[in-house]
Amino acid sequence: MYNTKMENLLNEVSYRINNEDYHQTLEILDGILKKVPKNYRANLYKGQVCVELKEYEDAVRYFEEAKKVDIKTFKSYNLLGISYHAIKQYDKAIECFNETLKITPNSFKAYNLLGISYFEKKDYTNAIENFNKAIEINPKYDKAFNNLALFYYKNKKYNEAIEFFEHSKSLDERVFKAYDMLGMSYYNINNYDKAIECFTKFLQYNGKSCKTANTLGAVYSFLKDYDNAIKYFNIAIDINPKYANAYNNLALVYFNRKMFDKAALYFDKAKKLDVNAFTDYNKLGISYYSKKYYYEAIECFERVIEKNSNAYKAYNFIGICYSSNEEYDKAINYFNKSIEINDRYYKAYNNLALAYYNLKDYNNAIENFNKSIDINNNNNADSYNGIGLSYYHLGEKEKSLIYLNKALELNPSYNNSYEILFSIYYDLEEYDNALNIADKIIEVNPNSFKYYDKLLSICFDNKDYNKVIEYASRTDKRNDDIYNMLAESYYRIKDYDSSSICYNKLIENKKSSFELYNNLAVIYYLKKDYDMLLNTYQRYIDNFDLKEDNFASYNIFLLSYTLLKGNIIKYNDFLNLFEKSLNKTIEFHNIHKNNSSYTLYKNINYNTDTLKLLLDKKTETENIFDILENTIEEGKLTAIKPVIENFNKKMNIDFYSFSSYINNLNDNVICIEYEANDSIIIKTKSYNEENIYGKTAKFITKEDDIHYDTLLSIFSYNSGNDDYRAILNNNNITIKSIYFPKNFDDSNIEIIRRIINDESIKLCKENN
């Protein structure tokens, strides 16, 4: 009865083991073994359960007990061998697997397990032999192929490993799990696409493997696919937020991308998580340096020196940090330490020279730049550039040119040399060379050029107006000089709209400059936009600051009256402008009293009563000039009569005489032919005959070029002691002709013709 009950319990245990009900099974077995410690089946079953629960030492104890009880019946040598193997008793494991093979000679699993134990003992010959026997018995046994692959993988025979891993996978891809090692095998033979494929597969089966995600990121990083590298390093960190290697690798990616802020952040995290995992204080130091955390960077480089006292590059970096912090004396000390360790390290000499350069010790700078060149002559543009700059500051510009050009020979994209070369050529007035250098700078990096103002000046003086416009478009730093050149350049190429925009920009800063308003008015005149022409003069009157001197009301009157005579503006427009100008000039005179310049109010002898009668008679007619003259005849406008009469007379002028310079006349001369006293007429057939132009010859000279704005000033009043005098203030001289040099612009002559508005005065070019 007792045996029957025991048998039933043991049968129940067997059933529960098959159904993996280990908890209840252990309770039953413990009950049996408590009563009958040497029960064969109970010890055998207890060993099996311990194997399933990975309690291998207990498994060995129960299997050995079962074997003692009935060695003839005992057949679980495989499980006993697995248990011995698990507790690293490989010799006993091998004995057990051999016992299995005595019982079952064709047990491919036993051969495979035997091979594993030999493998752990590093007896690779027997290991391979037994794996191959397992495959001979069962050519579809994937685990044996896997173990062979693992052997070749650990012995760095990656092609053989791939062969066996792939064969194992082909047998049953559903159970193949060695994608990580297969991926590493492909990686080690530089087949990165297959490696990525394998690691990605492994992550599908093992989504919590931070190491595989990290490895996949490392592969992408090696391939410089930094976006995917960052993605997988972050996946590794998401899986394990304390995984220092992933932080370190992520930092390296950002370091390679020169994103030093993030590199420093992740290097810091890696170091805090596992100081042993983080070893690259050099890169952390560079990251800190790039963030301008100079003292933190110095600490990192000092850690490098602690590990290696001969780390000359670390000394050099510390010097760079101090130099960047403008602590040049300390920097010099560390550069010298770097050189003491390695006197062939040209970068330290170069940095030492830069420190001296920043201290304005240019001779020591040149000495050390030359030492750097002695070591590395072929790829040392920095040193040649440094010598060039040093000579530049020492005032030796010719030597400076030699070294700066050498720097460019070594590195044609070295913008710093180009910039200084341009400046030197400009200072030496070698403008062709300056232009050539400027073109090279702009070709390489147009946004880096710092001397667009000088370049524009050269192009403007060369009358290359299209270049002025092109180069001006490349700089955001536009001052009044640039807008002036632009306005003139647009005018020269007859782009009047753009010219007017520039003049309006200038007027924003100089609201009282008649010259600017008048130039703008001329633009509108050429465009035949007479409304805007009038508006421009009105703006000048409205915007003029009465605290300024030289209110040009008289100029406006003369010019607007000329337009009225030509039927270009309406009579009422003339009167409105006249009224506005007169009111402003009275205010101006009241502030400046007798110190005021020549104004409309002054010209009419400060009498406005009769003048204002004209403003009440706002009549439009086809013959405005006749109406105005008739009004004067009626005595209603006697105050303005002198002004109008001046316009009806021949143009008169009194220019400063340059007779003392008669032998030096050239193309920069305008000759005025006039009648005076005996009406001696002057010709200009030759500039080299000393006596031909007599005592009554009068000339004016232009400085560099005569622009239309300068020409206008010839025919306006100027109370100073300049070369120009008013054309309307001398009744003793009658102008007959104005001779312009042959290089004079025809459009300017046309403007003068319109302003003079007198067909009796001949305007012509020399030799015409």
Percent of all residues in the chain with a pLDDT value above 90, rounded to a whole number: 16
Name the strands in the sheet holding 698-701, side by side, starting at the edge strand that comes first in the sequence: 698-701, 669-675, 734-740, 762-765
> Quick count: other Cβ atoms within 10 Å of Cβ 517?
27
In this predicted structure, which of 64-78, 552-566, 653-667, 672-686 has the lowest mean pLDDT? Answer: 653-667
**Is residue 65 predicted with pLDDT exceeding 50?**
yes
Task: Outline where DSSP puts E strands in 98-203.
Answer: none
What gap in Å lies between CA 521 and CA 517, rounded to an integer? 6
Q: Which of 669, 752, 673 is nearest to 703 (CA)?
A: 669
What gap in Å lies between CA 575 and CA 590, rounded to an integer? 22
Q: How many CA atoms lie within 13 A of 34 on its CB side?
A: 6
Question: Cβ(149)–Cβ(124) under 8 Å?
Answer: no
Take residue 457 and report the two structure tokens written for it. 């000046």
pLDDT at 177: 67
pLDDT at 360: 95
Question: Cβ(51)–Cβ(83) under 8 Å?
Answer: yes
Question: Cβ(127)–Cβ(119) under 8 Å?
Answer: yes
φ, ψ of residue 468 to 5 degrees: the values are -55, -45
Percent of all residues in the chain with a pLDDT value above 70, rounded to a whole number: 75
**Is residue 648 predicted with pLDDT exceeding 50?**
no
The DSSP annotation for 295-307 comes to: HHHHHHHHHHHHH
CA end-to-end span of the chain, whole Å?
A: 150
pLDDT at 672: 62
* C-alpha gyration radius of the chain: 50
The DSSP annotation for 720-735 comes to: SSSS---TTS-TT-EE
Find which of 595-599, 629-633, 740-744, 758-762 is predicted with most confidence, using mean pLDDT.
758-762
Q: At what angle do helices 108-120 and 142-154 cross, to 10 degrees?
A: 20
- 495, 624, 632 from 620: Cα distances, Å: 34, 7, 17
**Is residue 560 predicted with pLDDT exceeding 70?**
yes
Predicted confidence band of residue 453 (pLDDT cuts 50, 70, 90):
confident
Predicted confidence band of residue 451 (pLDDT cuts 50, 70, 90):
confident
Buried/exposed code over 704-713 (b: 16+ C-beta within 10 A; e: otherwise): eebbbbebbb
Q: Which of 393, 312, 403, 313 is nearest to 359 (CA)?
A: 393
Predicted confidence band of residue 500 (pLDDT cuts 50, 70, 90):
very high
Q: Which of 428, 421, 429, 480 is nearest to 451 (CA)?
A: 421
pLDDT at 647: 37
Place of tokens 């143009």: 651
**Is residue 332 predicted with pLDDT exceeding 90?**
yes
What gap in Å lies between CA 381 and CA 370, rounded to an integer? 12
Each residue's pLDDT tens digit, 72-108: 777 778 888 888 888 899 898 898 888 888 888 888 8
Question: Cβ(598)–Cβ(717) under 8 Å?
Answer: yes
Predicted confidence band of residue 476 (pLDDT cuts 50, 70, 90):
confident
505: left (phi over 0), alpha (psi -120 to 50) or beta: alpha
Q: Which of 433, 375, 431, 379 is nearest to 407 (CA)?
A: 379
- Beta strand pairing status for 669-675 and 762-765? unpaired
Strand, coil or helix: what is 511? coil
Each residue's pLDDT tens digit, 513-556: 888 998 898 889 888 999 999 999 999 999 999 888 778 877 78
- 11, 670, 716 from 756: Cα distances, Å: 133, 16, 11
Predicted confidence band of residue 340 (pLDDT cuts 50, 70, 90):
very high
The DSSP annotation for 149-175 comes to: HHHHHHTT-HHHHHHHHHHHHHH-TTT
Going by CATH, does the domain composed of 344-450 fall within 3.30.460.10?
Answer: no
Question: Cβ(388)–Cβ(370) under 8 Å?
Answer: no
**Is residue 649 predicted with pLDDT exceeding 70?**
no
Residue 579: Cβ-neighbour burial (10 angstroms; 0-12, 13-18, 19+): middle
- DSSP-derived secondary structure letter, 563: H
pLDDT at 620: 41
The neighbouring-strand residues paired with 671 are 699, 739
Contacts of 467 (CB under 8 A, 6+ apart): 459
What gap in Å lies between CA 403 and CA 409, rounded to an integer? 10
Residue 210: Cβ-neighbour burial (10 angstroms; 0-12, 13-18, 19+): buried
Predicted confidence band of residue 643 (pLDDT cuts 50, 70, 90):
very low
Give the residue with greater pLDDT, 432 vs 679.
432
pLDDT at 673: 60
Find which of 252-256, 310-314, 622-626 is predicted with most confidence, using mean pLDDT.
310-314
The neighbouring-strand residues paired with 674 are 735
**Is residue 618 predicted with pLDDT exceeding 70?**
no
**Is residue 605 predicted with pLDDT exceeding 70?**
no
**Is residue 597 predicted with pLDDT exceeding 90?**
no
- Beta strand pairing status for 669-675 and 734-740? antiparallel
What gap in Å lies between CA 717 and CA 714, rounded to an integer? 8
- Beta strand pairing status for 762-765 and 698-701? unpaired
Take residue 573 and report the two structure tokens written for it. 């427009």
Place of tokens 């340059």: 658
What gap in Å lies between CA 133 and CA 139, rounded to an integer? 10
pLDDT at 553: 77
Contacts of 221 (CB under 8 A, 6+ apart): 229, 249, 252, 253, 256
Each residue's pLDDT tens digit, 703-761: 334 333 333 334 433 333 333 333 333 444 566 677 666 666 676 676 666 666 677 77
The neighbouring-strand residues paired with 673 are 737
Contacts of 407 (CB under 8 A, 6+ apart): 381, 382, 384, 385, 388, 414, 417
Contacts of 35 (CB under 8 A, 6+ apart): none
Element (H, E) at 674: strand 669-675
**Is residue 206 predicted with pLDDT exceeding 60?**
yes
pLDDT at 743: 67
φ, ψ of residue 92 to 5 degrees: the values are -65, -35
Give the residue with greater pLDDT, 316 vs 576.
316
**Is residue 441 predicted with pLDDT exceeding 50?**
yes
The predicted model gives 554-561 an average pLDDT of: 75
What gap in Å lies between CA 707 and CA 55, rounded to an integer? 104
Mean pLDDT of the chain: 76
**Is residue 627 predicted with pLDDT exceeding 60?**
no
Predicted confidence band of residue 175 (pLDDT cuts 50, 70, 90):
low
pLDDT at 475: 76
Predicted confidence band of residue 205 (pLDDT cuts 50, 70, 90):
confident
In this predicted structure, which of 25-34, 148-157, 614-623 has the lowest mean pLDDT? Answer: 614-623
Predicted confidence band of residue 6 (pLDDT cuts 50, 70, 90):
confident
The predicted model gives 623-651 an average pLDDT of: 43
The predicted model gives 444-460 an average pLDDT of: 76
Question: Cβ(230)–Cβ(253) under 8 Å?
Answer: yes
Q: Which of 553, 560, 584, 593 is nearest to 574 (CA)?
A: 560
Strand, coil or helix: what is 673? strand
In this predicted structure, which of 119-123, 440-444, 511-515 has the lowest mean pLDDT? Answer: 440-444
The predicted model gives 2-28 an average pLDDT of: 76
Kindly list the domain boundaries of the chain, sorted by start residue.
344-450, 510-647, 659-765
Question: Cβ(760)–Cβ(651) under 8 Å?
Answer: no
Q: Which of 613, 610, 605, 589 is nearest to 642 (CA)?
A: 605
pLDDT at 375: 92
Give the residue with greater pLDDT, 599 vs 543.
543
Q: Report the helix count and the strand count for the chain, using DSSP H and E.
A: 40, 4
What gap in Å lies between CA 90 and CA 405, rounded to an integer? 75
Question: Cβ(409)–Cβ(429) under 8 Å?
Answer: no
In this predicted structure, which of 10-14, 333-337, 524-528 has the lowest mean pLDDT? Answer: 10-14
Take residue 652 and report the two structure tokens written for it. 């008169």
> Quick count: other Cβ atoms within 10 Å of Cβ 681?
11
Each residue's pLDDT tens digit, 222-248: 899 999 999 988 998 999 999 888 888
Q: At what angle do helices 312-324 and 294-307 cross, to 10 degrees?
A: 170
pLDDT at 670: 62
pLDDT at 623: 43
**Is residue 408 predicted with pLDDT exceeding 70?**
yes
Predicted confidence band of residue 173 (pLDDT cuts 50, 70, 90):
low
- DSSP-derived secondary structure letter, 446: G
Give the residue with greater pLDDT, 666 vs 208.
208
Sign of torsion over alpha carbons 310, 314, 316, 319:
negative
Longest dimension (CA), the chain: 168
